[in-house]
Each structure stands twice: as C-alpha cells, then as structure tokens.
Amino acid sequence: MPEGDTVWNTARVLHRALAGARITGSDFRVPQLATTDLTDWTVRESASRGKHLLLRLDAPTEEHWTLHSHLRMDGAWRAYAPGERWSGRPAHLIRVVLRSPGAVAVGYHLHDLTLVPTAEEDQLVGHLGPDLLGSDWDPAEAVRRLADHPEQTIGEALLDQRNLAGVGNLYKCEVLFLRGVSPWTPVGGVPDLPGMVALAQRLLAANRGRWTQSSTGSLHRGQTSYVYGRRAQPCRRCGTAIRKEELGERVTYWCPVCQPERPGSSSSG
Ligand SMILES: [Zn+2]
C-alpha cells in the first residue's frame, strides 16, 4: 500500500538512479504527454511531498520543470541498470520510461502524471498539510488543521491530506488501534490529538528505507499489522475478532474492545 513512507522510498530510489544525470531518451505512454520528449534534459533531484512524487528537471533552455506523479493504490517506479530485464510489472502498465547513461527509470500505473514548471508545483501540492516525512514537518500545524473540523470522524480526518500529508489507510487503522481510539470518534472527542499525530509520524519514519510496512515491529509475513487487513482474525491484544467496515470512502479495520466507542460519538453500527 503506497503511503508516505513508500513514496519517500521511491523518491530516494529515483534520486539515487537519476540525480545529476542527462536523460538520453524518454517514452511517455499517457495521452497528455505522448509528444513530450525529455532527451537532453537533466534530472536535478527527486523529492516526495506526502504521497506525491516530484522529479525536478532542467530543460536545455535552463528552465526548471517538475514531472509529477502519484502512486495511489497501485503505482510504482523502478530503476534498472542499462540492459537489465524490466522485471517489476507487466509491460502494459508502463506509463513512462526515462533513460540515462547509468540507469533506466520505469513508471508503472502512475496517476496524475503531469509536467509543470517547478514554480507552479504548488498547484499540485500546495493544498497539502504538513508532510510527516518532510524536513519541514510541523506537528503543531497538523494538529491545528485536524482540530479545525471537530465534527469529522478521526478515521476520515487522518486520511485527509489537507490535514497532514502521508498517512494512508494502513497507518490510519494502526495508529487508531495503538491509541485505543474508535475510527468513528469525532476529532473533537479524541483525548490526545498531539500524541496521535506524533505516533503517526514515528510509524512512517520507522518504515523509511524498507519496503515492508510494519506497525508491530515484526517484519514476518502476517505479523506486520495489528488490525489492518485482519478482518475476523483475533485481536493481538484481547482476542476479539477484528472488524472491517466502510468509513467514508474507505474501509477501516478496528478492534471493538480495544477501541471502544465513547459517549457522544456516533457509530455506523
Ligand atoms: Zn482488542
């Protein structure tokens, strides 16, 4: 599940493969960029902002441009050595290929692939709240943005990238379990919002630099989460069957005993 940590890792892979390199060939397989040719452009750097990827480029005219992409549920970038077989994903999922003398970067099933002047990046990422893995991470601002909508359920608020950028469904479910808070609790009823925000940041930061996401500390298959993906399996703390239900536009997983409803908070049942 690509969340902030996965996107951060991906940005680092692209940076190591391409930063400073001259592009020797590009192949865009999306209609909006079908005629774009980045040959002789230079890769300045690769960065992430929440769940958005920003590949910053210098055109031969020395103008600064940004190739933006979003992984959503299923996108990926892979870097290969020249001549190496592209083993990442089926070829029909390829959306872009960037060749350089030292590496080939292939983007699979990317979303929102756009090329914009770097000065206009804010049109794509300016709405985002503080980036949990950004060098400018601002927990107080994240708490302020969350608290601005006290009636919203905390389950939906943590996923709203305008509040804080980087949390996806996995970390949302896990953070709520670890804090003992029902996903249906209104933000205004969450006992320790700063503590929850701090935990979300620690979980994402702990998973930087590896591709297996774990909230339990275990990297063993089937043991990496407390509640996410574990419907009907026993809670690791109390043995109660983990539940799965729709909340807003996404499903949520939780333990009804470890994450009790509080008086005044509404439930979908
Ligand atoms: Zn439990």
Kindly tell me if the per-residue pLDDT of 266 is higher than 70.
no
219 exposed, middle or buried (CB, 10 Å; 0-12, 13-18, 19+)?
Answer: exposed
Question: Could you confirm whether 51 is annotated as catalytic?
Answer: yes
Residue 19 reports pLDDT greater than 80: yes
Quote the ligand 1 centre to 258 CA distance (angstroms).
Answer: 4
| Residue 190 CB contacts under 8 Å (≥ 6 apart), including other chains | 154, 181, 196
pLDDT in tens, 179-227: 999 999 999 999 999 999 999 999 999 999 888 999 999 999 999 999 9
Quickly state the pLDDT bin for 176 (edges 50, 70, 90). very high
**Residues 6+ away with beta carbon under 8 Å from 87:** none
CA 234 distance to own-chain centroid = 28
Which run of H or E residues covers position 232?
none
CB 103 within 8 A of CB 81: yes
Q: Quick check: is 250 catalytic?
A: yes
Among residues 12, 22, 244, 250, the one annotated as catalytic is: 250
Confidence band for 252, pLDDT divided at 50, 70 and 90: very high
The torsion angles phi and psi of 108, rounded to 5 degrees, stand at -105, 135
- Average pLDDT on 78-107 reads 95
Band of pLDDT at residue 262, cut at 50, 70 and 90:
low
Q: Tens of pLDDT along 119-168?
A: 999 999 999 999 999 999 999 999 999 999 999 999 999 999 999 999 99
pLDDT (0 to 100) of residue 153: 97
Q: Kindly name the residue from 49, 51, 95, 145 that is annotated as catalytic.
A: 51
pLDDT confidence of residue 139:
98
Is the pTM here over 0.75, yes or no? Answer: yes
What local confidence, expressed as pLDDT, does residue 263 receive? Answer: 57
pLDDT in tens, 37-58: 999 999 999 999 999 999 999 9
The amino acid sitting at 197 is V
